Chain A
Amino acid sequence: MTDASVIGVLLSLILVAVAFAVSMRFRLKLESDLAIATVRAIVQLSVVALVITFVFDHELLAIGVVLLMLGAASWTSARRLKGIPRGPQLATLAIASGAIVGLVVVFGTGVFDLEPRFVIPIAGMLIGNCMTAVSVAGVRVKEELTDKTLEVEARLALGVRARDALTPYIRRATTTALIPIIDTTKTVGLITLPGAFTGMLLGGATPAQAARVQLIVLFMLLGAVAIAGMTTTLLVTRMFVGPGERIVIPTER
């Protein structure tokens, strides 16, 4: 097994410097985002490594960690949903809906043992992927409805119910949110070796064991992300529907 040293981590920062250089060369204005992302990754993973050793032995603490993950993911997605009324609650509900279904299925069916060392990484994967889906679906449906208000109103003006008038935009936003996980599932093993598979191999598992676990993870994520994405688009579009089958663009706050 590889022993990643602190020097190794420092050397890997060279690649962050490359990203900085690209941003500056093409004036992407991503330097501050890159700096924040890098510092946050270092701090967060260092703290997690310290905490997780302790948490693995305390079940109640594991629940706390999962809730903390949910809180951080909801906060991140809610920032993307800025301008949508009740964005934070909506993001929390959508992420939790996908993650809870995934957790219930994999632990309820006994695929993994209900122990902190399984619950925390599985919940992390679920919450992280659902967070991405919620952000993508939320931003996409918000943009669709804001940019295409005239088109939606043209549908409503024909005597179509708001839920039917909004269906094409809900479909497009949900599809966009699902594309990454579908493509990952389609190309698994061909283009990339995904996280669980790689992690297990690095940890000493056999390729067959790693493949089985990876399949479970991918199928679990597919379901969870579909639920999170669909929940997001349905909840966001509800915020755009006013009384009398009208579309109402929420004002930025």
Chain B
Amino acid sequence: MVNTASNHPIEIESVSLDRAGRPVLHEVSARFARGGVTAIVGPSGAGKTSLLRCINRLEEPDGGRVLLDGEDIRSLDPTELRKRVGMIFQTPVLFEGGVRANLAYGLDGVPDHEVASALESAGLSASFLERESPALSVGQAQRVCIARALVRSPEALILDEPTSALDLKATARIEELLVSLAHNGLTIIVVTHDLPQARRIATEALLLDEGRVVAAGTPDEVAANWPGGAA
């Protein structure tokens, strides 16, 4: 049954994933709130990125299912799913051409004002449209990547360590941006190994270790369960 009014548009039910015979995720279940930032935290190799990739089908779980607005994502066209759930990678990836070409990539006849509006939502002025990709700082490039996802009017953004390549100032700007996008009604899921960052921006957190959910709750509650002692 489709439940479009849910406060938790993304739900993960008992998702398991094996890679080369090794379990990466073991029956992970979680719900992600609309209008909030949820941090997926945990030590390296905990399965955080793999879980994120299962949400937009860049990875196919071996068991369990992922629901978007109550619908199993396997019943959706993957291209539509990925427009509804935009993904931002650890390293900003810009394609050939300038900022404008990147924002319009894969879209037919997207109006200029929509492209400029997405850029502004990502905290960059419309003048950036004329910039060439190599002229951007890493922080600006990451914002262009966020804008590129926003042009597609997503319901959710999933981000894999989006600030790990950035300096403190650029990190603070991206963090502000994510909180503001959540306030505007987007479901934001951020993978981070940085618990202080989770505390700064997330309303909820999910702690993974060795492919299992160890704790879920507020970032402070989750911190108390950090493997090897409180972080």
Contact = CB atoms under 8 A, between A and B. Distances in A.
Contact of B57 (A151, A164, A246, A251): A246
B60 A242 contact: yes
Interface string B70-106: 0000100011111100110101010110000000011
A243 B89 CA distance: 22
Interface residues of A, number: 19
Interface string A219-253: 00000000000000000000000111110000100
Contacts of B57: 244-246
A54 B83 CA distance: 65
Nearest to A164: B106
B224 interface: no
Contacts of A68: none
A246 to B, nearest CB: 6
Contacts of B87: 157
Contacts of B59: 246
A157 B160 CA distance: 12
B91 A159 contact: no
A175 to B, nearest CB: 14
Interface in A126-180: 150-151, 153-161, 164, 168
Contact of A159 (B93, B145, B152): B152
B79 A160 contact: yes
Interface residues of B, number: 26
B60 A246 contact: yes
Nearest to B56: A157
A157 B93 CA distance: 11
B78 A154 contact: no
* Interface-central residue, A154, A157, A243, A246, by most chain B CB under 10 Å: A157
Contacts of B105: 155, 158, 160
A152 to B, nearest CB: 9
A153 B58 contact: yes
A160 B87 CA distance: 13
B89 A159 contact: no
A168 B96 contact: yes
B86 A157 contact: yes
Contacts of A246: 57-60, 78
B64 to A, nearest CB: 15
Nearest to B82: A159
A151 B58 contact: no
A26 to B, nearest CB: 34
B79 A155 contact: no
B62 to A, nearest CB: 13
A155 B60 contact: no
B149 interface: yes
B143 interface: no
Contacts of A168: 95-96
B80 A151 contact: no
Given A150-B89, A150-B91, A150-B93, A159 B79 contact: yes
A154 B86 CA distance: 10
Contacts of A154: 89, 93, 95, 145
B93 A156 contact: no
Interface of B: 20, 56-60, 74, 78-83, 86-87, 89, 91, 93, 95-96, 105-106, 145, 148-149, 152
The 10 A-B pairs at the shortest CB distance, nearest first, are namely A159-B83, A154-B93, A157-B87, A160-B106, A159-B82, A245-B78, A159-B79, A244-B57, A244-B78, A158-B106
26 contacts: A151-B93, A153-B58, A154-B89, A154-B93, A155-B105, A156-B58, A157-B58, A157-B86, A157-B87, A157-B89, A158-B105, A158-B148, A158-B149, A158-B152, A159-B79, A159-B80, A159-B81, A159-B82, A159-B83, A161-B79, A164-B106, A168-B96, A242-B60, A245-B57, A246-B57, A246-B60
